[in-house]
Amino acid sequence: MYRCVSFIALETNTSPEDEDKLVEEIKKRQIFLRVPAENEQDGRLITVLLNDEDVSWKIRSEEVGALASITAQHPMVREELVKQQQQISSSQNVVMEGRDITHTVLPNAQLKIFLDADPAVRAQRRFAELQSRG
C-alpha cells in the first residue's frame, strides 16, 4: 500500500515530501487488494488495484520502491493507510505483512508471526526477483 502512495506521488507529480498533498491524493482513491484472478497468473502473489486500475507490477518498479521509504515516514500517510488496512481486515480473513501490522494495524490478531532475514539473503532474493523480470 505504501508503494501505491509512491505511485500516486509519481502519477500526480506530487513531492514525496508533501505529506498533506499525499494524504489528499490517497483519500481521492481506493486501494484494493485481492487474490489474483485466473487471467492474472503471471507470478504475482496479490493483485493491487488503484481505482480499478491494476497496478500490481507498476508499483514494483525501482523508482516507486525508492520513494516508498520516503512516503512511509509521514505520520498522516501512515494513519490513513492503517485505517484502510483495518477496514480490509474487518471484512475478510487476511494475511498481512509489514513492520506495523502486529502492534499498530492488527494488535488483536489471532496469530502473529515474526520473521527476520539476513540482509544479504534479502538482497539475493530481491536481485533474483529483478532478474526474473528483466
Q: How would you write 52-110 as a 3-class SS string? A: CEECCCHHHCHHHHHHHHHHCCCHHHHHHHHHHHHHHHHCCCCCCCCCCHHHHHCCCCC
**Given this model, what pLDDT does residue 53 score?**
95
pLDDT for the residue 63: 93
The residues that bridge with 48 in the sheet, in sequence order, are 33
Cross-sheet strand order for the sheet of 53-54: 31-34, 47-50, 53-54
The stretches in the chain having pLDDT less than 50 are none
CA distance 82 to 74: 12
pLDDT of the residue at 71:
94
The CATH superfamily holding the domain 2-95 is P-loop containing nucleotide triphosphate hydrolases (3.40.50.300)
